Structure 1
Amino acid sequence: MSLGDDTGQTRTRMPERGGDPYGGARRGGRSSSRSLVTVVGVVVLLIAAIAFANRGGGDSAAEEGDGSGDSPKSAATAPSGEKPVDTKASGIPSGFAHDRQGAESAAANYAVTLVSADILKPARRTEIVRQVFVADKQASLKDRFNRAYTKEFLSNLGLDENGNAAADNPYISRTMPVGTKVTSYSDTAAAIEVWCTGVFGTAGEKTTNPVTSDWFTMSLQLHWADDDWKVDSFSQKDGPAPVPGDEKASTAEEMAKAVQEYGGFTYAR
Protein backbone atom coordinates (compact mmCIF):
# COMPACT_ATOMS: atom_id res chain seq x y z
CA MET A 1 0.00 0.00 0.00
CA SER A 2 1.26 3.41 -0.91
CA LEU A 3 0.79 6.35 1.42
CA GLY A 4 2.24 9.82 1.65
CA ASP A 5 2.01 11.90 -1.50
CA ASP A 6 0.08 9.18 -3.35
CA THR A 7 -2.30 8.22 -0.57
CA GLY A 8 -4.55 5.28 -1.26
CA GLN A 9 -2.81 3.56 -4.16
CA THR A 10 -1.85 -0.08 -4.08
CA ARG A 11 1.10 -1.62 -5.82
CA THR A 12 1.70 -5.12 -7.14
CA ARG A 13 5.24 -5.78 -8.21
CA MET A 14 5.86 -8.72 -10.52
CA PRO A 15 9.40 -10.20 -10.70
CA GLU A 16 11.18 -9.68 -13.98
CA ARG A 17 12.90 -12.74 -15.41
CA GLY A 18 15.44 -13.33 -18.13
CA GLY A 19 19.02 -12.19 -18.34
CA ASP A 20 21.22 -10.92 -15.57
CA PRO A 21 19.09 -8.76 -13.25
CA TYR A 22 21.99 -6.34 -12.95
CA GLY A 23 22.23 -5.77 -16.71
CA GLY A 24 25.03 -8.13 -17.75
CA ALA A 25 24.84 -11.19 -19.93
CA ARG A 26 24.58 -14.59 -18.31
CA ARG A 27 27.94 -16.22 -17.81
CA GLY A 28 28.75 -19.73 -18.87
CA GLY A 29 29.67 -22.54 -16.52
CA ARG A 30 33.09 -22.69 -14.95
CA SER A 31 35.37 -25.70 -14.77
CA SER A 32 35.15 -27.85 -11.64
CA SER A 33 38.63 -26.81 -10.46
CA ARG A 34 37.83 -23.12 -10.81
CA SER A 35 34.54 -23.64 -9.00
CA LEU A 36 36.37 -25.35 -6.15
CA VAL A 37 38.78 -22.41 -5.84
CA THR A 38 35.82 -20.02 -5.79
CA VAL A 39 34.06 -22.00 -3.05
CA VAL A 40 37.21 -22.10 -0.91
CA GLY A 41 37.67 -18.37 -1.39
CA VAL A 42 34.10 -17.64 -0.34
CA VAL A 43 34.47 -19.80 2.78
CA VAL A 44 37.66 -17.95 3.76
CA LEU A 45 35.95 -14.60 3.27
CA LEU A 46 32.98 -15.71 5.36
CA ILE A 47 35.22 -16.86 8.19
CA ALA A 48 37.07 -13.54 8.10
CA ALA A 49 33.79 -11.61 8.09
CA ILE A 50 32.43 -13.57 11.05
CA ALA A 51 35.66 -13.05 13.00
CA PHE A 52 35.54 -9.32 12.27
CA ALA A 53 31.88 -9.09 13.34
CA ASN A 54 32.54 -11.01 16.55
CA ARG A 55 35.19 -8.52 17.59
CA GLY A 56 32.27 -6.44 18.80
CA GLY A 57 30.19 -3.58 17.44
CA GLY A 58 30.89 -1.23 20.31
CA ASP A 59 32.81 1.22 18.13
CA SER A 60 29.88 2.00 15.80
CA ALA A 61 28.11 4.25 18.26
CA ALA A 62 31.29 6.15 18.95
CA GLU A 63 31.88 6.65 15.23
CA GLU A 64 28.43 8.18 14.85
CA GLY A 65 29.08 10.74 17.58
CA ASP A 66 26.41 12.31 19.73
CA GLY A 67 23.96 12.86 16.88
CA SER A 68 24.31 16.65 16.80
CA GLY A 69 24.40 18.58 13.55
CA ASP A 70 22.35 18.30 10.40
CA SER A 71 24.53 16.13 8.13
CA PRO A 72 23.40 12.54 7.39
CA LYS A 73 25.46 9.81 9.05
CA SER A 74 27.06 7.09 6.95
CA ALA A 75 26.81 4.38 9.61
CA ALA A 76 24.07 1.80 9.15
CA THR A 77 21.33 1.35 11.71
CA ALA A 78 22.72 -0.66 14.62
CA PRO A 79 21.19 -1.91 17.86
CA SER A 80 21.99 0.06 20.99
CA GLY A 81 20.54 -2.19 23.68
CA GLU A 82 18.28 0.63 24.89
CA LYS A 83 14.61 -0.15 25.34
CA PRO A 84 12.72 2.07 22.87
CA VAL A 85 9.62 2.92 24.94
CA ASP A 86 7.83 1.91 28.11
CA THR A 87 4.28 2.81 27.12
CA LYS A 88 1.73 2.55 24.35
CA ALA A 89 -1.22 4.78 23.49
CA SER A 90 -4.08 3.27 21.48
CA GLY A 91 -1.83 0.28 20.84
CA ILE A 92 0.88 2.47 19.30
CA PRO A 93 4.31 2.83 20.96
CA SER A 94 4.69 6.24 22.61
CA GLY A 95 6.96 8.13 25.00
CA PHE A 96 10.09 8.05 22.81
CA ALA A 97 13.35 9.44 24.13
CA HIS A 98 14.10 13.08 23.40
CA ASP A 99 17.23 12.33 21.41
CA ARG A 100 18.38 11.15 18.00
CA GLN A 101 17.82 7.49 18.82
CA GLY A 102 14.32 8.20 20.09
CA ALA A 103 13.47 9.98 16.84
CA GLU A 104 14.67 7.00 14.80
CA SER A 105 12.64 4.59 16.90
CA ALA A 106 9.55 6.80 16.60
CA ALA A 107 9.92 7.00 12.82
CA ALA A 108 10.28 3.21 12.47
CA ASN A 109 7.24 2.50 14.62
CA TYR A 110 5.14 5.17 12.92
CA ALA A 111 6.02 3.75 9.49
CA VAL A 112 4.64 0.39 10.63
CA THR A 113 1.43 2.03 11.84
CA LEU A 114 0.85 4.19 8.78
CA VAL A 115 1.02 1.23 6.39
CA SER A 116 -0.96 -1.19 8.55
CA ALA A 117 -4.36 -2.70 7.86
CA ASP A 118 -5.69 -0.62 10.79
CA ILE A 119 -5.34 2.61 8.80
CA LEU A 120 -8.12 1.32 6.54
CA LYS A 121 -10.60 1.17 9.43
CA PRO A 122 -12.32 4.56 10.01
CA ALA A 123 -12.61 4.20 13.79
CA ARG A 124 -9.05 2.98 14.20
CA ARG A 125 -7.76 5.59 11.77
CA THR A 126 -9.04 8.39 14.00
CA GLU A 127 -7.01 7.00 16.92
CA ILE A 128 -3.91 6.63 14.76
CA VAL A 129 -4.06 10.20 13.47
CA ARG A 130 -4.56 11.55 16.97
CA GLN A 131 -1.62 9.59 18.37
CA VAL A 132 0.90 9.87 15.53
CA PHE A 133 0.53 13.40 14.13
CA VAL A 134 1.12 16.87 15.56
CA ALA A 135 -2.08 18.54 16.74
CA ASP A 136 -2.34 21.19 14.01
CA LYS A 137 -2.14 18.59 11.22
CA GLN A 138 -4.64 16.07 12.57
CA ALA A 139 -7.82 17.53 11.05
CA SER A 140 -6.36 17.88 7.54
CA LEU A 141 -4.75 14.42 7.66
CA LYS A 142 -7.94 12.77 8.84
CA ASP A 143 -9.84 14.40 5.98
CA ARG A 144 -7.14 13.38 3.52
CA PHE A 145 -7.25 9.75 4.62
CA ASN A 146 -11.05 9.69 4.53
CA ARG A 147 -11.08 10.97 0.95
CA ALA A 148 -8.53 8.35 -0.09
CA TYR A 149 -10.05 5.33 1.64
CA THR A 150 -13.54 5.55 0.21
CA LYS A 151 -16.17 2.84 0.33
CA GLU A 152 -15.40 1.99 -3.30
CA PHE A 153 -11.67 1.77 -2.62
CA LEU A 154 -12.22 -0.53 0.36
CA SER A 155 -14.60 -2.68 -1.67
CA ASN A 156 -11.91 -3.19 -4.31
CA LEU A 157 -9.72 -4.64 -1.55
CA GLY A 158 -12.50 -6.96 -0.42
CA LEU A 159 -13.30 -4.87 2.67
CA ASP A 160 -16.58 -3.45 3.92
CA GLU A 161 -17.09 0.24 4.69
CA ASN A 162 -15.60 -0.29 8.16
CA GLY A 163 -12.41 -1.74 6.73
CA ASN A 164 -13.21 -5.30 7.78
CA ALA A 165 -12.57 -8.31 5.57
CA ALA A 166 -14.71 -11.40 5.16
CA ALA A 167 -13.70 -14.32 7.37
CA ASP A 168 -12.50 -16.37 4.39
CA ASN A 169 -10.63 -13.47 2.76
CA PRO A 170 -8.46 -11.77 5.43
CA TYR A 171 -6.72 -8.60 4.31
CA ILE A 172 -3.02 -8.34 5.20
CA SER A 173 -0.82 -5.25 5.37
CA ARG A 174 2.26 -5.58 7.55
CA THR A 175 5.41 -3.47 7.35
CA MET A 176 8.89 -4.40 8.61
CA PRO A 177 11.51 -1.63 8.86
CA VAL A 178 14.93 -2.68 7.57
CA GLY A 179 16.84 0.40 8.70
CA THR A 180 16.65 4.12 9.42
CA LYS A 181 18.66 7.15 8.30
CA VAL A 182 18.69 10.57 9.96
CA THR A 183 18.94 13.33 7.35
CA SER A 184 18.65 16.17 9.89
CA TYR A 185 18.24 16.44 13.64
CA SER A 186 17.76 19.08 16.34
CA ASP A 187 16.12 19.14 19.76
CA THR A 188 12.81 20.20 18.20
CA ALA A 189 12.72 18.53 14.77
CA ALA A 190 14.09 15.54 12.90
CA ALA A 191 13.93 14.23 9.36
CA ILE A 192 14.12 10.43 9.22
CA GLU A 193 14.04 7.99 6.33
CA VAL A 194 12.84 4.45 7.06
CA TRP A 195 13.68 1.71 4.57
CA CYS A 196 10.93 -0.92 4.73
CA THR A 197 9.73 -4.16 3.31
CA GLY A 198 6.32 -5.66 3.85
CA VAL A 199 3.46 -7.84 2.66
CA PHE A 200 0.03 -6.71 1.57
CA GLY A 201 -3.01 -8.14 -0.17
CA THR A 202 -5.93 -10.48 0.42
CA ALA A 203 -5.24 -14.04 1.55
CA GLY A 204 -8.22 -15.63 -0.15
CA GLU A 205 -8.35 -18.63 -2.47
CA LYS A 206 -10.16 -16.71 -5.25
CA THR A 207 -8.83 -13.23 -4.61
CA THR A 208 -7.77 -10.94 -7.46
CA ASN A 209 -5.51 -9.08 -5.02
CA PRO A 210 -3.15 -11.80 -3.68
CA VAL A 211 -0.62 -11.13 -0.94
CA THR A 212 2.64 -9.86 -2.37
CA SER A 213 5.82 -8.28 -1.04
CA ASP A 214 6.91 -4.68 -1.37
CA TRP A 215 9.99 -2.52 -0.75
CA PHE A 216 9.75 1.20 -0.12
CA THR A 217 11.28 4.10 1.77
CA MET A 218 9.17 6.37 3.96
CA SER A 219 10.42 9.87 4.78
CA LEU A 220 9.01 11.40 7.96
CA GLN A 221 9.34 14.93 9.29
CA LEU A 222 9.09 14.74 13.09
CA HIS A 223 8.55 17.44 15.68
CA TRP A 224 8.98 17.25 19.44
CA ALA A 225 5.53 18.04 20.88
CA ASP A 226 3.64 17.02 24.02
CA ASP A 227 6.77 15.29 25.36
CA ASP A 228 7.01 12.94 22.40
CA TRP A 229 8.06 12.75 18.76
CA LYS A 230 5.11 13.38 16.43
CA VAL A 231 4.78 13.33 12.64
CA ASP A 232 4.41 16.68 10.88
CA SER A 233 4.44 15.25 7.35
CA PHE A 234 5.51 12.16 5.46
CA SER A 235 6.01 10.81 1.95
CA GLN A 236 6.84 7.47 0.37
CA LYS A 237 8.81 6.22 -2.61
CA ASP A 238 9.60 2.83 -4.13
CA GLY A 239 12.72 0.81 -3.23
CA PRO A 240 15.51 0.14 -2.83
CA ALA A 241 14.41 -3.38 -3.74
CA PRO A 242 16.56 -6.53 -4.00
CA VAL A 243 16.46 -8.99 -6.87
CA PRO A 244 13.42 -11.26 -6.32
CA GLY A 245 14.28 -14.70 -4.97
CA ASP A 246 13.11 -18.05 -6.23
CA GLU A 247 11.07 -19.05 -3.18
CA LYS A 248 7.86 -20.92 -3.87
CA ALA A 249 4.83 -18.77 -3.07
CA SER A 250 2.81 -19.96 -0.06
CA THR A 251 -0.88 -20.74 -0.24
CA ALA A 252 -3.50 -18.23 0.86
CA GLU A 253 -4.17 -20.36 3.95
CA GLU A 254 -0.50 -20.41 4.91
CA MET A 255 -0.21 -16.62 4.55
CA ALA A 256 -3.31 -15.93 6.63
CA LYS A 257 -2.16 -18.34 9.33
CA ALA A 258 1.32 -16.82 9.46
CA VAL A 259 0.02 -13.29 10.01
CA GLN A 260 -2.36 -14.50 12.73
CA GLU A 261 0.27 -16.55 14.55
CA TYR A 262 3.34 -14.28 14.29
CA GLY A 263 3.11 -11.02 16.19
CA GLY A 264 4.78 -7.73 15.34
CA PHE A 265 7.56 -5.85 17.13
CA THR A 266 8.22 -2.53 18.76
CA TYR A 267 11.11 -1.17 16.71
CA ALA A 268 14.14 0.53 18.22
CA ARG A 269 17.42 1.80 16.89
Structure 2
Amino acid sequence: MSLGDDGYGGDPRSGRPDDGYSTLGGTRQTRTRFADGTGGDGYGSRRPARSSRSLTMVVGVVVLLVAAIAFANMGGGSGDSDSSGGSGGGKAGAAPTAATGTKPVTGKNGKVPSGFAHNEQGAQSAAANYSVALGSADMFEATHRRQIVNAVYAPAVATARQDDLDKVYSGEAFLTSIGLNTDGTAPAGMTFISRSNPVGTKVVKFSGETASVSVWYSALFGLAGEGSKNPVSESWFTNTFELAWIDGDWKVTDFTQKDGPVPVGRDQAASPAQEMADAVEQFGGFTYAR
Protein backbone atom coordinates (compact mmCIF):
# COMPACT_ATOMS: atom_id res chain seq x y z
CA MET A 1 0.00 0.00 0.00
CA SER A 2 5.16 4.74 1.32
CA LEU A 3 3.74 5.99 1.13
CA GLY A 4 9.85 6.58 -0.03
CA ASP A 5 5.85 6.22 -0.76
CA ASP A 6 5.87 2.29 -0.85
CA GLY A 7 3.65 2.68 0.81
CA TYR A 8 4.47 2.59 -0.21
CA GLY A 9 12.71 5.99 4.17
CA GLY A 10 15.76 5.65 2.50
CA ASP A 11 17.30 2.66 0.83
CA PRO A 12 18.95 0.57 3.60
CA ARG A 13 21.42 -1.03 1.18
CA SER A 14 24.00 1.48 0.07
CA GLY A 15 22.12 4.78 0.13
CA ARG A 16 20.15 6.55 -2.54
CA PRO A 17 21.84 8.75 -5.16
CA ASP A 18 21.71 12.52 -4.74
CA ASP A 19 18.55 14.19 -5.88
CA GLY A 20 19.09 15.20 -9.49
CA TYR A 21 16.76 18.13 -9.07
CA SER A 22 19.04 19.73 -6.49
CA THR A 23 20.86 21.24 -9.46
CA LEU A 24 17.93 23.62 -9.80
CA GLY A 25 18.80 25.30 -6.50
CA GLY A 26 19.82 28.95 -6.58
CA THR A 27 23.25 28.16 -5.16
CA ARG A 28 24.22 26.41 -8.35
CA GLN A 29 23.17 29.20 -10.68
CA THR A 30 25.57 31.99 -11.64
CA ARG A 31 24.97 35.51 -12.88
CA THR A 32 27.16 36.90 -15.66
CA ARG A 33 27.47 40.62 -16.36
CA PHE A 34 28.18 41.80 -19.90
CA ALA A 35 29.60 45.20 -20.72
CA ASP A 36 27.21 47.52 -22.48
CA GLY A 37 27.98 47.85 -26.15
CA THR A 38 26.63 49.69 -29.13
CA GLY A 39 23.93 47.75 -30.85
CA GLY A 40 23.81 47.32 -34.54
CA ASP A 41 20.05 47.62 -34.81
CA GLY A 42 19.76 51.39 -34.22
CA TYR A 43 18.19 51.16 -30.78
CA GLY A 44 21.27 52.30 -28.84
CA SER A 45 23.48 50.56 -26.36
CA ARG A 46 21.04 49.61 -23.56
CA ARG A 47 18.60 47.43 -25.46
CA PRO A 48 21.15 44.97 -26.87
CA ALA A 49 22.66 44.60 -23.38
CA ARG A 50 19.25 43.68 -21.91
CA SER A 51 18.59 41.25 -24.74
CA SER A 52 21.97 39.61 -24.23
CA ARG A 53 21.39 39.15 -20.52
CA SER A 54 17.90 37.79 -21.07
CA LEU A 55 19.11 35.34 -23.68
CA THR A 56 21.95 34.22 -21.41
CA MET A 57 19.54 33.64 -18.52
CA VAL A 58 17.18 31.61 -20.70
CA VAL A 59 20.02 29.50 -22.06
CA GLY A 60 21.38 29.01 -18.53
CA VAL A 61 18.00 27.82 -17.20
CA VAL A 62 17.58 25.44 -20.14
CA VAL A 63 21.05 23.98 -19.55
CA LEU A 64 20.30 23.49 -15.87
CA LEU A 65 17.00 21.80 -16.65
CA VAL A 66 18.57 19.48 -19.19
CA ALA A 67 21.34 18.61 -16.76
CA ALA A 68 18.87 17.95 -13.96
CA ILE A 69 16.69 15.73 -16.12
CA ALA A 70 19.71 13.80 -17.37
CA PHE A 71 20.98 13.33 -13.83
CA ALA A 72 17.54 12.19 -12.61
CA ASN A 73 17.24 9.73 -15.48
CA MET A 74 20.64 8.29 -14.64
CA GLY A 75 19.51 7.77 -11.08
CA GLY A 76 16.20 6.31 -12.21
CA GLY A 77 17.95 3.92 -14.55
CA SER A 78 20.01 2.59 -11.68
CA GLY A 79 16.88 2.08 -9.59
CA ASP A 80 15.13 0.31 -12.44
CA SER A 81 18.00 -2.07 -12.94
CA ASP A 82 17.92 -2.88 -9.24
CA SER A 83 14.21 -3.53 -9.48
CA SER A 84 14.41 -5.66 -12.56
CA GLY A 85 17.14 -7.72 -11.02
CA GLY A 86 15.27 -7.99 -7.74
CA SER A 87 12.50 -10.42 -8.56
CA GLY A 88 13.58 -12.57 -5.63
CA GLY A 89 12.16 -12.10 -2.15
CA GLY A 90 15.56 -11.16 -0.72
CA LYS A 91 16.04 -8.28 -3.15
CA ALA A 92 12.53 -6.93 -2.56
CA GLY A 93 13.02 -7.13 1.19
CA ALA A 94 16.35 -5.30 0.95
CA ALA A 95 14.85 -2.36 -0.97
CA PRO A 96 11.35 -1.83 0.46
CA THR A 97 10.89 1.60 -1.09
CA ALA A 98 12.22 0.88 -4.58
CA ALA A 99 9.66 1.20 -7.38
CA THR A 100 8.92 -2.04 -9.23
CA GLY A 101 7.04 -0.75 -12.25
CA THR A 102 4.16 -3.15 -11.64
CA LYS A 103 0.88 -1.40 -12.43
CA PRO A 104 -1.39 -0.78 -9.42
CA VAL A 105 -4.74 -2.49 -9.26
CA THR A 106 -7.80 -0.86 -10.77
CA GLY A 107 -10.46 -3.25 -9.47
CA LYS A 108 -12.49 -3.14 -6.29
CA ASN A 109 -14.24 -5.84 -4.27
CA GLY A 110 -16.61 -3.63 -2.35
CA LYS A 111 -14.28 -1.07 -0.76
CA VAL A 112 -11.24 -3.37 -0.94
CA PRO A 113 -8.80 -3.21 -3.89
CA SER A 114 -8.63 -6.40 -5.94
CA GLY A 115 -6.95 -7.84 -9.04
CA PHE A 116 -3.37 -7.91 -7.78
CA ALA A 117 -0.49 -9.09 -9.95
CA HIS A 118 0.45 -12.78 -9.76
CA ASN A 119 4.00 -12.13 -8.54
CA GLU A 120 5.87 -10.96 -5.45
CA GLN A 121 4.96 -7.33 -6.04
CA GLY A 122 1.28 -8.20 -6.28
CA ALA A 123 1.45 -10.23 -3.07
CA GLN A 124 3.04 -7.28 -1.26
CA SER A 125 0.42 -4.88 -2.61
CA ALA A 126 -2.36 -7.23 -1.52
CA ALA A 127 -0.94 -7.59 1.98
CA ALA A 128 -0.58 -3.80 2.40
CA ASN A 129 -4.12 -3.09 1.22
CA TYR A 130 -5.59 -5.93 3.26
CA SER A 131 -3.92 -4.58 6.41
CA VAL A 132 -5.64 -1.25 5.73
CA ALA A 133 -9.05 -2.88 5.27
CA LEU A 134 -8.75 -5.09 8.35
CA GLY A 135 -7.65 -2.12 10.46
CA SER A 136 -10.39 0.25 9.32
CA ALA A 137 -13.33 1.62 11.28
CA ASP A 138 -15.62 -0.36 8.93
CA MET A 139 -14.63 -3.53 10.79
CA PHE A 140 -16.74 -2.30 13.70
CA GLU A 141 -19.95 -2.30 11.65
CA ALA A 142 -21.43 -5.75 10.95
CA THR A 143 -22.37 -5.36 7.27
CA HIS A 144 -19.10 -3.72 6.26
CA ARG A 145 -17.13 -6.24 8.31
CA ARG A 146 -18.65 -9.16 6.41
CA GLN A 147 -17.87 -7.49 3.08
CA ILE A 148 -14.25 -6.95 4.09
CA VAL A 149 -13.79 -10.50 5.36
CA ASN A 150 -15.24 -11.99 2.17
CA ALA A 151 -13.02 -9.76 0.04
CA VAL A 152 -9.81 -10.41 1.97
CA TYR A 153 -9.94 -14.01 3.16
CA ALA A 154 -9.84 -17.24 1.17
CA PRO A 155 -13.32 -18.80 0.87
CA ALA A 156 -12.24 -21.85 2.86
CA VAL A 157 -11.47 -19.77 5.95
CA ALA A 158 -13.77 -16.75 5.50
CA THR A 159 -16.79 -18.24 7.27
CA ALA A 160 -14.86 -19.37 10.33
CA ARG A 161 -12.99 -16.09 10.47
CA GLN A 162 -16.26 -14.17 10.16
CA ASP A 163 -17.68 -15.93 13.21
CA ASP A 164 -14.57 -15.24 15.24
CA LEU A 165 -14.51 -11.58 14.28
CA ASP A 166 -18.22 -11.14 14.98
CA LYS A 167 -17.67 -12.37 18.52
CA VAL A 168 -14.82 -9.90 19.06
CA TYR A 169 -16.23 -6.81 17.37
CA SER A 170 -19.80 -7.29 18.57
CA GLY A 171 -18.94 -7.91 22.19
CA GLU A 172 -20.64 -5.31 24.39
CA ALA A 173 -17.78 -5.29 26.90
CA PHE A 174 -15.22 -4.72 24.15
CA LEU A 175 -17.16 -1.92 22.46
CA THR A 176 -17.81 -0.18 25.79
CA SER A 177 -14.15 -0.44 26.76
CA ILE A 178 -13.08 1.54 23.68
CA GLY A 179 -15.86 4.10 24.11
CA LEU A 180 -18.27 3.00 21.37
CA ASN A 181 -21.99 2.35 21.56
CA THR A 182 -23.14 -1.27 21.61
CA ASP A 183 -23.90 -1.12 17.88
CA GLY A 184 -20.33 -0.10 17.08
CA THR A 185 -21.08 3.57 16.42
CA ALA A 186 -19.43 6.56 18.08
CA PRO A 187 -21.29 8.52 20.78
CA ALA A 188 -22.86 11.82 19.78
CA GLY A 189 -20.27 14.53 19.24
CA MET A 190 -17.45 12.01 18.80
CA THR A 191 -15.61 10.75 15.71
CA PHE A 192 -14.30 7.19 15.83
CA ILE A 193 -10.89 6.77 14.18
CA SER A 194 -9.30 3.47 13.24
CA ARG A 195 -6.77 3.66 10.42
CA SER A 196 -3.75 1.59 9.43
CA ASN A 197 -0.93 3.27 7.51
CA PRO A 198 1.58 0.82 5.95
CA VAL A 199 5.13 2.13 5.69
CA GLY A 200 6.75 -0.94 4.16
CA THR A 201 6.35 -4.57 3.09
CA LYS A 202 8.72 -7.55 3.02
CA VAL A 203 8.48 -10.92 1.30
CA VAL A 204 9.20 -13.68 3.81
CA LYS A 205 8.50 -16.58 1.44
CA PHE A 206 7.22 -16.87 -2.12
CA SER A 207 6.51 -20.00 -4.14
CA GLY A 208 4.30 -18.75 -6.96
CA GLU A 209 0.94 -19.96 -5.62
CA THR A 210 1.53 -19.05 -1.99
CA ALA A 211 3.32 -16.18 -0.28
CA SER A 212 4.17 -14.93 3.18
CA VAL A 213 4.39 -11.14 3.39
CA SER A 214 5.07 -8.91 6.38
CA VAL A 215 3.59 -5.41 6.58
CA TRP A 216 5.01 -2.80 8.95
CA TYR A 217 2.48 -0.10 9.73
CA SER A 218 1.38 2.57 12.14
CA ALA A 219 -2.16 2.61 13.49
CA LEU A 220 -4.36 5.49 14.64
CA PHE A 221 -7.09 4.49 17.06
CA GLY A 222 -9.50 6.25 19.40
CA LEU A 223 -12.32 8.75 19.71
CA ALA A 224 -11.84 12.36 18.68
CA GLY A 225 -14.09 14.80 20.48
CA GLU A 226 -14.29 17.04 23.50
CA GLY A 227 -14.14 15.00 26.70
CA SER A 228 -13.09 11.77 24.99
CA LYS A 229 -11.86 9.17 27.45
CA ASN A 230 -10.11 7.32 24.63
CA PRO A 231 -8.27 10.02 22.64
CA VAL A 232 -6.70 9.08 19.33
CA SER A 233 -3.27 7.54 19.83
CA GLU A 234 -0.63 6.01 17.57
CA SER A 235 0.84 2.51 17.78
CA TRP A 236 3.10 0.38 15.58
CA PHE A 237 2.72 -3.24 14.47
CA THR A 238 3.95 -5.79 11.98
CA ASN A 239 1.42 -8.19 10.45
CA THR A 240 2.61 -11.25 8.56
CA PHE A 241 0.02 -12.48 6.07
CA GLU A 242 -0.11 -15.99 4.65
CA LEU A 243 -1.51 -15.62 1.11
CA ALA A 244 -2.72 -18.03 -1.53
CA TRP A 245 -3.44 -17.40 -5.22
CA ILE A 246 -7.15 -18.25 -5.56
CA ASP A 247 -9.48 -17.49 -8.47
CA GLY A 248 -7.12 -14.92 -9.98
CA ASP A 249 -6.23 -12.97 -6.86
CA TRP A 250 -4.31 -13.14 -3.61
CA LYS A 251 -6.34 -14.14 -0.56
CA VAL A 252 -5.44 -14.37 3.13
CA THR A 253 -5.36 -17.82 4.68
CA ASP A 254 -3.89 -16.74 8.02
CA PHE A 255 -1.95 -13.93 9.66
CA THR A 256 -0.03 -13.11 12.81
CA GLN A 257 0.66 -9.80 14.50
CA LYS A 258 3.46 -8.48 16.68
CA ASP A 259 4.28 -5.10 18.18
CA GLY A 260 6.77 -2.73 16.52
CA PRO A 261 9.27 -1.81 15.40
CA VAL A 262 8.38 1.39 17.27
CA PRO A 263 10.25 4.65 16.49
CA VAL A 264 11.09 7.25 19.11
CA GLY A 265 8.29 9.79 19.37
CA ARG A 266 9.09 13.40 18.53
CA ASP A 267 8.42 16.29 20.85
CA GLN A 268 5.23 17.45 19.14
CA ALA A 269 2.13 18.75 20.85
CA ALA A 270 -0.99 16.67 20.28
CA SER A 271 -3.58 18.29 18.02
CA PRO A 272 -6.95 19.41 19.42
CA ALA A 273 -9.75 16.85 19.18
CA GLN A 274 -11.65 18.77 16.51
CA GLU A 275 -8.56 19.13 14.33
CA MET A 276 -7.98 15.38 14.51
CA ALA A 277 -11.61 14.64 13.66
CA ASP A 278 -11.49 17.05 10.72
CA ALA A 279 -8.30 15.45 9.42
CA VAL A 280 -9.89 12.01 9.22
CA GLU A 281 -12.86 13.42 7.35
CA GLN A 282 -10.75 15.48 4.95
CA PHE A 283 -7.81 13.17 4.20
CA GLY A 284 -8.63 10.00 2.32
CA GLY A 285 -6.62 6.79 2.26
CA PHE A 286 -4.49 5.20 -0.45
CA THR A 287 -4.48 2.15 -2.64
CA TYR A 288 -1.03 0.75 -1.98
CA ALA A 289 1.08 -0.59 -4.83
CA ARG A 290 4.49 -2.23 -4.44
What TM-score do you get using the length of structure 1 for normalisation? 0.76
Distance 1:211 1:73 in 2: 31
Deviation at 1:50, TM superposition (A): 3.6
Q: What secondary structure sits across from 1:80 in the alignment? A: coil
Greater displacement, 60-69 / 80-89: 60-69
Which sits farther off after the overlay, 158-167 or 62-71?
A: 62-71
Task: Give the partner amino acid of 2:122.
Answer: G
Q: Which runs of 5+ in 1 are unaligned?
A: 1-47
Q: Helix, strand or coil for the counterpart of 1:161? A: coil
2:29 matched to which residue of 1?
none
Q: Partners of 1:167 and 1:190 in 2: how far apart?
A: 43
Q: CA deviation at 1:159?
A: 1.9
Contact residue 89 and residue 204 of structure 2 kept, 8 A: no
RMSD of Structure 2 on Structure 1 (CA) = 2.4
Map of 1:226 onto structure 2: 247
May I ask how many residue pairs the two structures share in their alignment?
A: 224
Give the equivalent residue in structure 2 for 1:184.
205
Letter in 2 for 1:217: T
Query: Separation in 2 of the partners of 1:244 and 1:69?
Result: 31
Q: What's the offset of the Cα at 1:121?
A: 1.2
1:169-207 per-residue CA deviation (whole Å, 9 max, x = no partner) reads 111011111011001112200110111012111102111
Summarize deviations over 1:61-83 as a string: whole Å, max 9, x none: 53353524788742223223443
Pick the structure with more helix per residue.
2
* Contact residue 67 and residue 185 of structure 1 kept, 8 A: no
Which of 194, 209, 214 is residue 173 of structure 1 equivalent to?
194
Q: Which position in structure 2 is the counterpart of 1:95?
A: 115
| Higher deviation after alignment, 198-207 or 243-252 | 198-207
**Larger deviation, residues 162-171 vs 92-101:** 162-171
Correspondent of 1:157 among 155, 158, 178: 178
C-alpha distance in structure 1 between counterparts of 2:80 and 2:255, whole Å: 27
Who is 1:132 aligned against?
Answer: 152
Question: C-alpha displacement at 1:86, in angstroms?
Answer: 1.1
1:132-160 CA deviation, whole Å, 9 max, x = no partner? 00011011111111222212211222222
Work out whether 1:120 is the aligned partner of 2:140.
yes
The answer as to 2:126 corresponding to 1:141 is no
Q: Which amino acid aligns with 2:166?
A: N
Relative distance call for 1:69 and 1:266 in structure 2 (3 A) is closer
Please, which of 212, 229, 243 is the counterpart of residue 208 of structure 1? 229
The structure 2 residue matched to 1:59, chosen from 68, 78, 88, is: 78
The answer as to 2:238 corresponding to 1:217 is yes
TM-score normalised over the length of structure 2 = 0.71
Larger radius of gyration: 2
The change in CA–CA distance for 1:242 and 1:70 in structure 2 (over 3 A counts) is closer
The whole-number CA distance in structure 2 between the counterparts of 1:127 and 1:186 is 28
Q: Percent identity?
A: 45
Correspondence 1:6-25 to 2 at 5 A: none
- Per-residue CA deviation, residues 34-56 of structure 1 (Å, 9 max, x unaligned), is xxxxxxxxxxxxxx844599552
